[in-house]
Amino acid sequence: MLPPAPPPIPAASPARPGRRGLRRARPEPAQPVRPVDAGPQRRRRRWWLRKRLLLPLGLLALVILLGDRGQDTPPAAGGSQLGVPVRDGNLEFVVSQVRCGVTQVGTGLLRRTPEGQFCLARMRVTNVKTGARTLYEPVQKLVDTAGGKHAADLGIRVIYRDQTLWDKIEPGKEVSGTMVFDIPRDTRPDHLELHDGIASGGVTVRLR
């Protein structure tokens, strides 16, 4: 005798939609917004400010370096040009006196002594054209009889405070004062090289 058949398995009823049967899709988390990196802009701005400050200084240093290189051949002889007007660019120079063998300028805390000997060049400068100009010591040179070039002393502005030589020279105006050069004891001054600016061609003033 066969055993009784198992009861039929009821079919699963389809799930009804409902609050429990449906799951809400969870929203994706929002990606954080990264702030704009202003670092490169700041760095560019700082570099531009440094460039504006360093460029004039670098140009002046280059002029000094090139001006001091080597020994120059003195200009052809033709006699002293003391008291004779000469012109470079906008400026007319008249060198009235050059005195060498000076062993001291200034007094007290402002006292200066040379490595060799001081040469003092007294002059007046007139702006004969349009456009203001300013003289700069490093490009004003005295060339000695051995061919060595010597720039005007930067510290003399502090010692000779009453002169106008280094003031801004407006068109039609005149300034005057003394440039001081330190040259070796065993040489003599041969000529001056004077410039109306750091990029000018310059003019020669013979001293003998």
CATH code where residue 163 lies: 2.60.40.1240
Q: Give the domain extent around 100.
A: 86-206
What amino acid occupies position 9? I
Most confident of 3-12, 73-82, 157-166: 157-166
Of the candidates 193, 184, 188, 185, which has an alpha carbon nearest to the alpha carbon of residue 75? 193
- Does 73 map to a domain? no
- Does 77 map to a domain? no
3-class secondary structure, 2: coil
Higher per-residue pLDDT: 64 or 108: 108
Q: What is the mean pLDDT of residues 167-188?
A: 97
- Does 167 map to a domain? yes
Report CA-CA distances (Å) from 31 to 35, 38, 68, 112: 12, 21, 64, 71
Q: Which structure tokens are listed for 53?
A: 């400050």
Is the pLDDT at 60 greater than 70? The verdict is no
Q: Give me the pLDDT at residue 128, please.
A: 97
Higher per-residue pLDDT: 178 or 31: 178
Number of domain units in the chain: 1
